[in-house]
Structure 1
Amino acid sequence: MPRAAELTDAQWDRIRPLLPSPIGKRGRPFRQDRRVIEAIIWRYRVGSPWRDVPESFGPWQTLWKRHRRYSGDGTWDHILAELLADADAAGEINWAVSVDSTINRAHQHATTLPRVTGGLSNYKKLLPEPADHGIGRSRGGLSTKIHQLVDGHGLPLVVLVGPGQAGDAPMFPILMGHLGVARSGPGRPRSKPDRVRGDKAYSSRAIRAHLRQRGIVAVIPEPSDQAGHQKRRGSSGGRPVRYDAEDYRGRNVIERGFNDTKQWRGLASRYDKLALTSRVGAVLRAVTLWASRMSETR
């Protein structure tokens, strides 16, 4: 694939049929879909301002408007959902799921909108823009987090963003609530993984109870302070936490997956003002990763 191209022909063949009907608001057909999509990918891969996207891709206003439109109407989420359904039907999804987040510094150009600090209710739905735009002040300054559930190969199943200072554990039930892979035949979407691997940040009674009630194996180690508190309480502290330490080694797939995501410089740092478009940049990266994997299996 030449350096000027952002998608292989095989990747484009997977994505093209899933794009919306090429009719604009005034009945004009969208032109050169591939060039526009590749321009959006180029912008996130390079981390460039929209105005500095090469003229060979077309007017930057067209690129931004298409990205904003596809972000708001759920196009990229729909495409990812379709790719996941195809992957599950082909047996390509490993349902040993891992959960984690990665923090991103927010560039000063991303922090010019007024922000109202809100609770996690802002992130229970995918499309509405949260009042704080998914940006918070952590020890390193203004930052945001990308939260993901990935399959056993490290490919994203769910992508959300939140403020950088927010904890990981409160986001876990929200991530699980958005997990749902449609089946090729009749039946509800699959929302129950075989197991969930998480680091000590996800060690809480609420999370363990949630997984236990759903019959999902929890592969989550316990922090030493929690183990100490439990031991001091004696029999009232409950049973000691046990997990498969050998299986836990498989959690590194999400760390390697974040490395793949952050190969796009526009995702390693946050340049988007809106959480809506920032999250969809990460969703678009997930689309390219799944399209690449599925094109290899054809």
Structure 2
Amino acid sequence: MTRQEISDEVWAVLEPLMPPWTDHRLAVEGMAWKFRTGAPWRDVPERFGKWNSIYKRFNRWAEDGTWEKLLAEVQKQADAAGKIDWVVSIDSTIARVHQHGATLPRDTGAPPNHKNPRVEPPDHAIGRSRGGLTTKVHLVADGRGRPLGMVLTGGNTADTTMLAATLDDICVPRASRGRPRTRPDRVLADKGYPSKANRAWLRAHGIATTIPERDDQIAHRRKKPGRPIDFGTDQRERYKGRNVVERCFNRLKQWRGIAMRSDKLARNYRAAICLSSTLIWIKTDLINTP
């Protein structure tokens, strides 16, 4: 007996969304097994099929955007059912890059193309930080801790510089006609994001904020008085909900292939996160299981 990677209930939701030219269940279960265990592709058990065929299918879908489309489709179904909480939380997490994932030449510090995440950045979203070679996952989660958008950068990238790009990755299609929803009602963030540029960007896009000030910003205002930031009792109560993004990271990193990156391409690592995120959405909303 082996543990089933994708249950029948989950597959009943996922199957109609898959490309229609064959039955993909074994291949998708093999992909989920690989990233859940963190094993190399060559170690994917034969019960899922030939490892090379599974890898080629995963890589092709990462290249043509299939994984992003699957994630957007389950988000669309959840939104149509009114199950998305648009008071969102944003934060980042670090993933150590395994030596097998750091073999490609890198132009460290080169700017990634956040407008099209399928375009491989020159540095492959790998940077050198105190933890060595790392990738940083900037992620925004809805009020129930499900991923809405994400951006990958090198681990040495400051959180505050990526707020706008991460929120711009939100794109939830409508079930009926209309433009996709791209703006949350409110953003909750910690003291890594309170810059004037971020607050100005959020105001310009009509997004309410709950972001506390750092001590140095408060001290600077005492020297040069300015308009104080409202962070009273109501804001402190709202801020208690910010931890949903941390719980989202905990769920994603239960997959060892996400907790430690072994993919050479940032595009493929993002695809793995999209696969895991799709299953999170299905399990929490579309089949009503925890």
Q: Residue by residue, what CA displacement relative to the aligned partner does 1:131-155 show, whole Å, maximum 9, x if unpaired?
A: 0001000011000011111000000
Q: Which residue of structure 2 aligns with residue 19 of structure 1?
A: 18
Q: Which residue of structure 2 aligns with residue 39 of structure 1?
A: 30
Q: Secondary structure at the match of 1:221?
A: coil
Amino acid at match of 2:228: P
Cα displacement (A) at 1:285: 0.6
What is the TM-score normalised by the length of structure 2?
0.95
Q: Which residue of structure 2 aligns with residue 167 of structure 1?
A: 158
Q: Cα 1:142–1:160, aligned 2, differ >3 Å: closer, same or farther?
A: same
1:48–1:266: 8 Å Cα contact kept in structure 2?
yes
Q: Which residue of structure 2 aligns with residue 197 of structure 1?
A: 188
Q: Could you tell me which runs of 5 or more consecutive residues in structure 2 were left unpaired when the two chains were aligned.
A: none
Q: Secondary structure at the match of 2:224?
A: helix
Q: Cα 1:93–1:170, aligned 2, differ >3 Å: closer, same or farther?
A: same
Separation (CA, whole Å) in 2 of partners of 1:197 and 1:119: 29
Q: How many residues align?
A: 286
Cα displacement (A) at 1:3: 4.5
Identity of aligned residues (%): 47
Q: Which residue of structure 2 aligns with residue 241 of structure 1?
A: 229
Cα displacement (A) at 1:124: 3.1
Cα displacement (A) at 1:215: 2.1
Separation (CA, whole Å) in 2 of partners of 1:284 and 1:228: 44
Cα displacement (A) at 1:9: 1.0
Separation (CA, whole Å) in 1 of partners of 2:52 and 2:138: 29
Cα displacement (A) at 1:85: 0.8
Match of 1:260 among 248, 251, 273: 251
Separation (CA, whole Å) in 2 of partners of 1:233 and 1:3: 65
Q: Which residue of structure 2 aligns with residue 27 of structure 1?
A: none
Cα RMSD after superposing both structures: 1.4
Counting only pairs closer than 5 Å after superposition, residues 1-298 of structure 1 correspond to structure 2 as 3-22=2-21, 30=22, 32-234=23-225, 238-243=226-231, 244-297=235-288
Separation (CA, whole Å) in 1 of partners of 2:49 and 2:2: 18
Separation (CA, whole Å) in 2 of partners of 1:153 and 1:94: 6
Cα displacement (A) at 1:71: 0.4
Q: Could you tell me which runs of 5 or more consecutive residues in structure 1 were left unpaired when the two chains were aligned.
A: 23-29
2:111–2:121: 8 Å Cα contact kept in structure 1?
no
Separation (CA, whole Å) in 2 of partners of 1:150 and 1:45: 21
Separation (CA, whole Å) in 2 of partners of 1:173 and 1:263: 27
Q: Secondary structure at the match of 1:123?
A: coil
1:104–1:269: 8 Å Cα contact kept in structure 2?
yes
1:145–1:161: 8 Å Cα contact kept in structure 2?
yes
Separation (CA, whole Å) in 2 of partners of 1:203 and 1:119: 25
Cα displacement (A) at 1:293: 2.0
Q: Residue by residue, what CA displacement relative to the aligned partner does 1:143-189 show, whole Å, maximum 9, x if unpaired?
A: 00111110000000112211000011111111122212111222211
Cα displacement (A) at 1:128: 0.4
Separation (CA, whole Å) in 2 of partners of 1:230 and 1:38: 55
What is the TM-score normalised by the length of structure 1?
0.92
Worse-matched range after superposition: 203-212 or 88-97: 203-212
2:110–2:121: 8 Å Cα contact kept in structure 1?
no
1:159–1:282: 8 Å Cα contact kept in structure 2?
no
Q: Residue by residue, what CA displacement relative to the aligned partner does 1:206-258 show, whole Å, maximum 9, x if unpaired?
A: 11111112221111111101111122112xxx211123011001001111110
